[in-house]
Amino acid sequence: MNSSEEIAVSGMSAGRPALRMGPAELVQAAAMARRFYLEGKSKIQIAEEFGVSRFKVARVLETALERDLVRIEIRVPAELDAERSDRLRARYGLRHAVVVESPAEDVEESPDPENLGEVAADLLGELVTEGDVLGLAWGRSTIHMAAALDRLPPCTVVQLTGVYDAGTAERGSVEAVRRAAQVSGGEAHPIYAPMLLPDPATAAALRNQTGIARAFEYFDKVTVAAVSIGSWEPGISTVHDMLSDEERAHYASLGVAAEMSAHLFDAEGRRVGRDLGERCITVEADRLRRIPEVVAIAGGRRKAEAIDAVLRSGLVTSLVTDTAAADHLLEAGTAPRPALDRGDPDGAE
């Protein structure tokens, strides 16, 4: 995800018409531009070399830009959309927003393309520093991200939620935590428990078990977290798919628009259905809000409204998404409060 700047120096005007420059002026301007843009020399060094003032050098460089003798191109990898990324970051007041190209086919039906995980893996490689505690929540996108990790500084990795199905732990979030810890060379603290339990008493009993309690002790130490976002519809929300039809209807009646780590949100980012959290093995919303960097990974047009809701909640600071979701988010109504305020939409402390 590193961008590069390419400087092309030419003796001919490639753009708009310009006043004619003599050959000596062209040669000098090209030489100064090469020294400044390609060789990294200062204007003072160039002035000393050519026996002119640094103000003359500044004027020549300015003229070279104005007359298209110098062309500056800012390039990022083709799959990244720098313009949408910057607009999305500004609209939601995010610390980082990275937008990748949506797949050419089935844009409407493909939430969380796998390349989101690959880009998120690169982003974590930038954000995580030695000694950090990295938290990973359950989600297809976070699992794809963990599989794509190839670099991480030494850090502790902790699981932030139970698994979708305890029987698939080896292929899910437990394996994601192990993979991240293996890449970083740090400790792994997985959670061997389902995300959703039948009742609050069972969930409370599991939280007190030694291994799970040890993982929970790390929640307040997490410095960087990666989470997924789900819409409240089949196949796009893990929690939705785990509930009974009656329970789904109940939470839908509360206006659920999004789900993240078993927390439910309405379209304005307010938490609803908080009783569900009592039955879940997951990081509490208030703890998420205190984590310095929370990266949400979600894309696809079908998830766009859910992403908007979660960004309004104040629980995340950064986003990795795709162009299909970004276009909807950029066209949405009233701009929300900056996400970096980390404020609770409910007004609670």
Please check the confidence at residue 22 and state whether its pLDDT lies above 80. no
Please check the confidence at residue 32 and state whether its pLDDT lies above 60. yes
Give dist(CA 158, CA 120) in Å, integer: 17
Domain ranges of the chain: 23-67, 80-341
Please check the confidence at residue 38 and state whether its pLDDT lies above 80. yes
Query: pTM of the prediction?
Result: 0.77
Please check the confidence at residue 9 and state whether its pLDDT lies above 80. no
312: tokens are: 């309004």
Lowest-pLDDT range, 99-113, 285-299, 308-322? 99-113
Give dist(CA 248, CA 102) in Å, integer: 30
Lowest-pLDDT range, 5-19, 54-68, 124-138, 165-179? 5-19
Lowest-pLDDT range, 36-50, 101-115, 290-304? 101-115
CB atoms near residue 228 (< 10 Å): 29
User: Residue 12: its pLDDT value, please?
Assistant: 38
Give dist(CA 289, CA 68) in Å, integer: 49
Give dist(CA 304, CA 67) in Å, integer: 43
Give dist(CA 102, CA 52) in Å, integer: 52
Q: HEC profile for 220-286?
A: HHCCEEEEECEECCCCCCHHHHHCCHHHHHHHHHCCCCEEECCEEECCCCCEECHHHHHHECECCHH
What CATH architecture is 23-67? Answer: Orthogonal Bundle (1.10)
- pLDDT tens column, 187-236: 999 999 989 999 999 999 999 999 899 999 999 999 999 999 998 887 77
User: Residue 71: its pLDDT value, please?
Assistant: 80
Find where tokens 């069972």 sit: 202
Range 126-147 average pLDDT = 92
Please check the confidence at residue 156 and state whether its pLDDT lies above 80. yes
82: tokens are: 């720098």
Please check the confidence at residue 14 and state whether its pLDDT lies above 90. no
Give dist(CA 77, CA 129) in Å, integer: 24
Decide: 242 and 163 in contact? Cβ < 8 Å. no
Percent of the residues in the chain that have a pLDDT greater than 90, as a whole number: 58
Please check the confidence at residue 167 and state whether its pLDDT lies above 50. no
For residue 169, what pLDDT band results from cuts at 50, 70 and 90?
A: very low
User: Residue 15: its pLDDT value, please?
Assistant: 41
Find where tokens 């305890």 sit: 166
Range 101-121 average pLDDT = 73
For residue 186, what pLDDT band results from cuts at 50, 70 and 90?
A: very high
For residue 5, what pLDDT band results from cuts at 50, 70 and 90?
A: very low
Distances (CA, A) of 293 to 79, 121, 124: 24, 14, 10
User: Residue 56: its pLDDT value, please?
Assistant: 93
| CATH class in words for 80-341 | alpha beta
Range 284-312 average pLDDT = 94
Asked if domains 23-67 and 80-341 share a fold, the reply is no
Question: Within 34-168, where are the H helices?
Answer: 43-50, 54-66, 82-92, 114-127, 140-148
> Of 311, 305, 315, 319, which is closest to residue 85 (Cα–Cα)?
319
Give helix 140-148 / helix 114-127 axis angle, nearest 10°: 60
